Amino acid sequence: MPVARIAAVSLVVSALSFMGCGGGPQGPRIRFAQASSAQIQSAQNEDVVWYEFRAGDRVPMIFVLQGIVKAEAETPVFLEATRDFWVVVYKDGRQFFSFDGAHLYRGELGKFGLFLAATEEGPASAVMLFIGQRADMPAELR
C-alpha cells in the first residue's frame, strides 16, 4: 500500500469544526483492520468511504514527517485504536473523523509535540502525535 494512501487513511490532523447531522454522508463502511487490498482499492472509486476502527484494532503505520523537518520510519509501527471511530475520506481528499458513526468532525482534533533531549549516545528527538477530542489530550500537549 503506498505511503500516501496510508497517510491519507492514518488520521490527518486538522482543526475542530462540527459538521453534519443525522447519519452523515452515505458511502461504504469498511473495517480497515480486516479489509482486503481489493476492498481498499475498490473504495478509491467511491465519492466517500467510512473506514471503521474498533477498539483494539491494530494496523501497521509508516511514520513520515515532511516540511521543515523530514523523516520516514524504515519499519512500520503499529497503530492501535483505543476506542471506536471512523475516518471518513472523500474522493477529493477531504477527511473527517466520526466518533459516533454519524457526525463528522474536522479541525483541531490533534496536536503534536517535538521533544528534544540528550542521551548517553548523544542528541535524541521524539514526536508525540495526539489525535482525538481535546478533553482526552495529555497534559504535556495542552
Find residue 112's DSSP bridge partners.
Answer: 129
Phi, psi of 9 (to 5 degrees): -90, -20
Q: C-alpha cell of 48?
A: 466517500
The whole-model pTM stands at: 0.70
Closest by CA to 134, choosing from 93, 95, 88, 97, is 97
What Å distances lie between residue 137 and 51, 67, 109, 141, 142, CA to CA? 23, 24, 9, 7, 7
How confident is the model at residue 16, as a pLDDT? Answer: 29
- One digit per residue, the tens of pLDDT, for the chain of length 142 reads 444 434 433 433 332 233 344 467 899 999 999 999 999 999 989 999 999 999 999 999 888 888 888 888 888 889 899 999 999 999 998 989 999 999 998 866 677 777 778 788 877 777 777 888 777 777 766 6
Residue 55 to residue 66: CA distance in whole angstroms: 29
How confident is the model at residue 98, as a pLDDT? Answer: 93
How confident is the model at residue 141, as a pLDDT? Answer: 65
